[in-house]
């Protein structure tokens, strides 16, 4: 006799047990198999979107990684060589600022106090801790990653790929030095990222001035500004092209009085708004993002930087040089007053950007940065952006859902150059060494001298070293196109450099460069530069394996691991389609010459219960580990799969589980957003802190876990399968594996197998189309409604019948076997538990012929059943039987009948049931289990069992008084009215010639059948009503 399972599924016990088991067996490790010896289907590869090492897993990760695991487990079962590459991302800004904040809070030190090396060391410590935590959490959700291949975007393998890519792009002229407006913190003298700034509404002056038009005495053009000092850097004034007031002035020059420069009046529809202010704006490209963009459209106007890094005016400001920008503001305004060019001043509230860290106002500041050129090439061939677009428009890379291809194409279509340098310390340092051009005769002489160095020349000849000089190499920089004559000088303190890039790590070359006065850039690369390489860098590109790779890892080796490239599917969220997906395609095509993945599946977004996105700053996150703890990992995964629908983002309302008494306390919106730090349980009146992503514990009160009933379905489903298996194991005594002949099976078996085959097909198709929610629904319906509610119930009688028992056992075991396979990708723990239990008692099972089951569900073959099993006829007949049984049950329930005679009367009075009953009378016989289905609560008592199967219709009418005749008549009348409505609708449809002519034949036939059906139903209802009335 089989070991008996406990009564309920214990998710916690299963989780650790099977994780250890799977890992011990090495199921998740993949080795290339180019000869297709072991895996004729070839590889199926997913690279994980590497989570940041900044913190813990959140609900988005849970969703994203569950779906990846579903795919990878499914493909593994389908016989693909499945590889899921795990890893983490160093996430430059995010990680550095987290650690900086920590250091500041704990030691009151800034990064400058620590110094670069020390700060970087602290961040590595942080990374080691949080990487371990995140990977541990991933493992806990059941992620079947090939952990031996775990990578980090800063590890040597990835660093090598970064260096190689940078070098190649530099060599090929795709990487260039250019200028960009950054958020400048004049206090800390550093640039800050957009998300390290905040805007505050600030009271500010709003001045209006006028410039005299050159050559037209008494003609002025007036404009308004909140920053008068930037007039020193004006290079144009701008009006709207359709503005009649200024049309005649466009193309004329005006005098910039402080500097004496003459600047043009230009027309630009994007910058000037004729409705606003005077309709005319001053243009200061170096100190305003909009003006900067305008300059890019009109490069001939020139660009002038007037600020020093400390916020004082530089030499471009002439007599104002050295003044603080706010002092300069007053002085500049004063001068305009003196000249009679001041019009007026008002007060205005303007949003002003501030630096998070110094709390001082941000200055847009022109600085030198490195860029990747995205535009088309001068030789007419597609550039990087175009190549990446072509990969999608040609269909080589497909998006699911399709509409997201549009975001991708729109964004790449702008072909905006990619700024890849960041003024940070945490990241891949830019592999460029620079030195100012020292010689009077400029770059050419400088280069000639440089090339006289033997090491340098040799390295260059061998293609290990490349250098560039501003302006000589191909550049899209507008300044190189500045129109002669008109031009204001380009003022930059850093223009005249020789920049040298070397391939790979070459200590000798570096030291040579150093001796020649070259220093390496302080900047690091944009995080996305290294994550862009993720699909090929993690596979060891450009190869071969690095010697320093630890022995206990599988050292990635491009020669060998190229096998996995292109990867199969990328699963990610829509907000990084541009930042990440587009750039992976780009670098994949550029480095490898092939797309990085065939499919991109974009996941829905998990919203809070109030429809807003979850974020750390809002404090409305939900911890997946809370969910796992309360409902189990299988339930969490099922819930995630269920909400992964095609179009919808999903709201996830949560409640706080009181840590004292377990009462569920509803969450109000204000409880999130970190406003409410304390709640009182309405049940036990004790205090607790609401759940959420709190950084630390509150010593005074425990933190609630967050629950959500959206996970109950999955938990209950796991338990249902657990108990179905438990039932089977209790009834397997005498089980003998053997083939079944479908043609000889009773109706319910044929129905079940038809449903199993249909479901299997549908599930496989849904997975193929990334319709995850459908997968969950199909399985739930089949397992719960069809297998448990109907088939198992009907099998109970047969299991007691010695003749029918062996077949029933085989079908039960065979179908359960299929169910466990189908469910495994979604709910690996419960399915593995049951698989193992079943293996003990029925190791040989399967339909139509048994075979020895695999040792683990994780490597069991994905099922597929013959189409011939699918029988519309059997399914239709069974469906009518179900209707009948439901009808009987309804009567039984409605009248609470436990007496056969009374019940039979009630049945007669329920028209639908009576009609079905007659129609099915001939069919009921062979359904061995029907008695169980229609019996009441006391089935166990033999005298009642089966009492309803063959009703004696003649006896009813006279007994009608036993039921509530008035209520029943009312009900019947309502039913008749409803049916007549339906009848009218159908009739008018069929009377309509256009319908009959233009609708598909089967639809018309459907309507005819329906009409006949309704007519019959009405007739029966009316007859019953009459019977009832006369009784």
Partner RNA sequence: GGGCGUUUAACUCAGCGGUUAGAGUGCCUCCCUUACAAGGAGGAAGUCGGGGGUUCGAGUCCCUCAACGCCCACCA
CB of 1010 to RNA, least distance (A): 4
- Of the candidate spans 142-150, 427-435, 602-610, 680-688, the one that interacts with RNA by CB under 7 A turns out to be 602-610
With b meaning 16 or more CB within 10 Å and e meaning fewer, what string describes 335-371?
bbeeeebbeeeeeeeeebbbbebeeebbbbbbbbbbb
Q: Is 989 in the site for RNA (CB under 7 A)?
A: yes
Q: Is 172 in the site for RNA (CB under 7 A)?
A: no
Q: Is 664 in the site for RNA (CB under 7 A)?
A: no
Q: Is 1008 in the site for RNA (CB under 7 A)?
A: no
What are the Cα distances from residue 630, in Å, to 8, 20, 98, 650, 712? 15, 22, 30, 20, 10
Residue 87 bridge partners (DSSP): 151
Show the tokens assigned to 1005. Answer: 């036939």
Name the residue nearer to RNA (CB basis): 674 or 1010: 1010
Q: Is 1000 in the site for RNA (CB under 7 A)?
A: yes
Q: Is 992 in the site for RNA (CB under 7 A)?
A: yes
In contact, 60 and 573? CB cutoff 8 Å? yes
Binding mask 722-741 for RNA (x = CB under 7 A): -xx-xx--x-----------
CB of 417 to RNA, least distance (A): 13
Contacting RNA within 367-396 (CB under 7 A) = none
Show the tokens assigned to 626. Answer: 């809370």
Q: Is 430 in the site for RNA (CB under 7 A)?
A: no
Q: Which of 219, 226, 496, 764 binds RNA (CB under 7 A)?
A: 226
Q: Is 336 in the site for RNA (CB under 7 A)?
A: no
What does the DSSP assignment read for 252-272?
Answer: -EEEETTTTEEEEEEE-TTT-
Cis peptide bond prior to 544, omega within 30° of 0: yes
CB of 339 to RNA, least distance (A): 20
Q: Is 773 in the site for RNA (CB under 7 A)?
A: yes
Contacting RNA within 782-821 (CB under 7 A) = 784, 788-789, 792-793, 796
Name the residue nearer to RNA (CB basis): 513 or 820: 820
CA atoms of 374 and 386, how far apart (whole Å):
8
CB of 147 to RNA, least distance (A): 29
Q: Is 1005 in the site for RNA (CB under 7 A)?
A: no
Please list, in sequence order, all residues whose beta carbon lies within 8 angstroms of the beta carbon of residue 921, skipping any fewer than 6 positions away. 950
CA atoms of 576 and 555, how far apart (whole Å):
29
CA atoms of 96 and 111, how far apart (whole Å):
10
Name the residue nearer to RNA (CB basis): 594 or 978: 978
CB of 718 to RNA, least distance (A): 6
- Of the candidate spans 225-233, 325-333, 757-765, 833-841, the one that interacts with RNA by CB under 7 A turns out to be 225-233
CA atoms of 484 and 489, how far apart (whole Å):
10
DSSP 14: H
CA atoms of 737 and 745, how far apart (whole Å):
16
Binding mask 280-319 for RNA (x = CB under 7 A): xxx-----xxx--x--------------------------
Name the residue nearer to RNA (CB basis): 82 or 577: 577
Show the tokens assigned to 870. Answer: 């699918």
Q: Which of 93, 249, 718, 778 binds RNA (CB under 7 A)?
A: 718
What does the DSSP assignment read for 94-152?
Answer: HHHHHHHHHHHHHH---HHHH-HHHHHHHHHHHHHHHHHHHHHHHHHTT----GGG-EE
Name the residue nearer to RNA (CB basis): 208 or 495: 208
Instruction: Please give the size of the binding site for RNA, defined by CB under 7 A.
Output: 104
Q: Is 661 in the site for RNA (CB under 7 A)?
A: no
Name the residue nearer to RNA (CB basis): 518 or 727: 727
Residue keyed to tokens 């009739």: 987
CB of 1002 to RNA, least distance (A): 8
Percentages of the chain per state (helix, strand, coil), in multiples of 5? 50, 15, 35
- Of the candidate spans 33-41, 126-134, 420-428, 974-982, the one that interacts with RNA by CB under 7 A turns out to be 974-982
Q: Which of 1003, 1019, 1026, 1029 binds RNA (CB under 7 A)?
A: 1003
Contacting RNA within 615-634 (CB under 7 A) = 632
Contacting RNA within 479-538 (CB under 7 A) = none
Contacting RNA within 880-909 (CB under 7 A) = 885-886, 889-890, 892-894, 896
Largest CA distance in the chain: 121
- Of the candidate spans 97-105, 142-150, 704-712, 745-753, the one that interacts with RNA by CB under 7 A turns out to be 704-712
With b meaning 16 or more CB within 10 Å and e meaning fewer, what string describes 508-518?
ebbebbeebeb
Q: Is 469 in the site for RNA (CB under 7 A)?
A: no
CA 961, 966, 972 angle in degrees (round to 5)? 105
- Of the candidate spans 6-14, 303-311, 505-513, 541-549, the one that interacts with RNA by CB under 7 A turns out to be 6-14
Contacting RNA within 936-955 (CB under 7 A) = 936-940
CB of 460 to RNA, least distance (A): 38
Residue keyed to tokens 């089989």: 2
Closest Cα to residue 631, out of 639, 641, 620, 621?
639
Q: Which of 418, 905, 979, 1028 binds RNA (CB under 7 A)?
A: 979
């Amino acid at each position: 006799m089989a070991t008996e399972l406990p009564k309920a599924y214990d998710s916690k016990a299963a989780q650790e047990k099977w994780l250890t088991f799977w890992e011990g067996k090495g199921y998740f490790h993949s080795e290339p198999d180019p000869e297709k010896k072991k895996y004729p289907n070839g590889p199926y590869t997913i690279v994980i979107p590497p989570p940041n090492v900044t913190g813990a897993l959140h609900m988005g990760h849970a969703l994203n990684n569950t779906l990846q695991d579903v795919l990878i487990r499914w493909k593994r079962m389908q016989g693909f060589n499945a590889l899921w590459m795990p890893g983490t991302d160093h996430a430059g800004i995010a990680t550095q600022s987290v650690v900086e904040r920590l250091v500041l809070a704990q030691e009151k030190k800034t990064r400058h106090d620590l110094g670069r090396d020390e700060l970087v060391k602290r961040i590595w410590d942080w990374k080691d801790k949080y990487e371990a935590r995140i990977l541990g959490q991933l493992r806990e959700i059941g992620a079947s990653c090939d952990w031996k291949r775990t990578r980090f975007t800063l590890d040597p393998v990835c660093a090598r790929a970064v260096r190689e890519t940078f070098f190649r792009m530099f060599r090929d002229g795709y990487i260039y030095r250019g200028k960009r407006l950054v958020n400048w913190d004049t206090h800390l003298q550093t640039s800050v990222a957009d998300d390290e700034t905040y805007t505050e509404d600030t009271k500010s002056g709003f001045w209006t001035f006028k410039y005299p038009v050159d050559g037209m005495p008494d003609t002025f053009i007036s404009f308004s500004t909140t920053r008068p000092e930037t007039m020193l850097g004006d290079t144009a004034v701008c009006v709207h092209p359709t503005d009649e007031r200024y049309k005649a002035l466009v193309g004329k020059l005006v005098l910039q009085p402080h500097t004496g420069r003459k600047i043009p009046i230009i027309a630009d529809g994007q910058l000037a708004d004729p409705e606003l202010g005077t309709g005319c704006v001053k243009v200061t490209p170096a100190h305003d993002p909009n003006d900067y963009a305008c300059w890019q459209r009109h490069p001939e106007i020139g660009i002038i930087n007037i600020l020093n890094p400390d916020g004082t005016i530089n030499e471009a400001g002439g007599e104002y040089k050295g003044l603080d920008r706010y002092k300069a503001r007053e002085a500049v305004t004063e001068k305009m007053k003196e000249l009679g060019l001041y019009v007026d001043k008002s007060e205005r509230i303007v949003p002003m950007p501030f630096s998070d860290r110094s709390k001082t106002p941000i200055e847009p500041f022109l600085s030198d940065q490195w860029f990747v050129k995205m535009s088309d090439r001068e030789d007419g061939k597609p550039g990087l952006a175009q190549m990446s677009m072509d990969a999608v428009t040609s269909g080589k890379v497909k998006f699911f859902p399709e509409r997201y291809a549009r975001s991708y194409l729109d964004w790449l279509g702008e072909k905006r150059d990619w700024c890849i340098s960041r003024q940070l310390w945490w990241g891949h340092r830019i592999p460029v060494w620079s030195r100012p051009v020292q010689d009077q005769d400029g770059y050419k002489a400088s280069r000639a001298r440089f090339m006289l160095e033997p090491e340098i020349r040799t390295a260059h000849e061998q293609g290990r070293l490349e250098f560039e000089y501003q302006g000589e190499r191909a550049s899209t920089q507008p300044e190189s196109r500045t129109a002669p004559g008109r031009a204001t000088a380009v003022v930059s303190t850093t223009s005249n450099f020789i920049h040298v890039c070397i391939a790979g790590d070459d200590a000798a070359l570096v030291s040579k460069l150093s001796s020649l006065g070259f220093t390496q850039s302080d900047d690091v690369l944009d995080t996305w530069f290294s994550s862009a390489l993720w699909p090929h860098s993690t596979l060891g590109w450009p190869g071969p394996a690095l010697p320093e790779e630890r022995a206990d890892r599988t050292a990635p080796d491009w020669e060998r691991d190229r096998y996995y490239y292109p990867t199969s599917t990328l699963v990610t969220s829509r907000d990084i389609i541009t930042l990440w997906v587009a750039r992976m395609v780009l670098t994949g095509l550029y480095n490898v010459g092939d797309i990085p993945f065939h499919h991109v599946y974009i996941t829905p977004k998990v919203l809070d219960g109030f429809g807003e996105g979850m974020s750390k700053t809002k404090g409305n996150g939900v911890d997946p580990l809370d969910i796992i703890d309360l409902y189990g990992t299988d339930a969490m995964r099922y819930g995630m799969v269920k909400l992964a629908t095609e179009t919808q983002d999903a709201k996830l309302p949560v409640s706080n589980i009181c840590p004292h008494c377990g009462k569920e306390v509803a969450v109000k919106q204000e409880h999130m957003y970190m406003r409410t730090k304390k709640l009182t349980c309405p049940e036990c009146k004790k205090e607790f802190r609401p759940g959420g992503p709190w950084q630390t514990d509150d010593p005074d009160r425990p933190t609630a876990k967050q629950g959500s009933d959206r996970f109950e379905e999955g938990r209950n489903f796991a338990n249902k399968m657990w108990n179905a298996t438990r039932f089977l194991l209790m009834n397997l005594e005498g089980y003998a594996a053997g083939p079944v002949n479908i043609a000889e099976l009773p109706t319910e078996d044929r129905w079940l197998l038809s449903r199993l085959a249909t479901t299997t097909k549908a599930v496989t198709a849904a997975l193929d189309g990334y319709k995850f929610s459908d997968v969950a629904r199909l399985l739930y319906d089949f397992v719960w409604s069809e297998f448990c509610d109907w088939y198992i119930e009907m099998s109970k009688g047969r299991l007691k019948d010695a003749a029918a028992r062996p077949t029933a056992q085989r079908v039960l075991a065979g179908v359960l076997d299929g169910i466990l396979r189908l469910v495994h990708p979604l709910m690996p723990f419960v399915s593995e538990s049951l698989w193992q239990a079943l293996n003990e008692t029925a190791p040989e099972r399967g339909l139509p012929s048994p075979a020895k089951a695999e040792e683990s569900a994780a490597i069991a073959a994905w099922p597929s059943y013959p189409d011939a099993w699918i029988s519309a006829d059997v399914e239709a007949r069974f469906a009518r039987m179900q209707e009948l049984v439901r009808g009987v049950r309804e009567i039984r329930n409605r009248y609470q009948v436990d007496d056969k005679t009374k019940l039979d009367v009630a049945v007669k009075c329920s028209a639908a049931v009576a009609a079905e009953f007659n129609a099915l009378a001939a069919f009921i016989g062979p359904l061995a289990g029907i008695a169980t289905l229609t019996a009441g609560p006391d089935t166990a008592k033999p005298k009642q069992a089966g009492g309803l199967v063959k009703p004696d219709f003649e006896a009813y009418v006279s007994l009608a008084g036993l039921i509530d005749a008035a209520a029943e008549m009312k009900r019947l009348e309502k039913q008749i009215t409803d049916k007549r409505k339906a009848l009218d609708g159908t009739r008018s449809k069929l009377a309509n010639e256009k319908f009959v002519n233009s609708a598909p034949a089967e639809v018309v036939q459907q309507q005819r059948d329906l009409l006949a059906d309704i007519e019959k139903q009405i007739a029966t209802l009316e007859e019953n009503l009459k019977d009832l009335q006369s009784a």
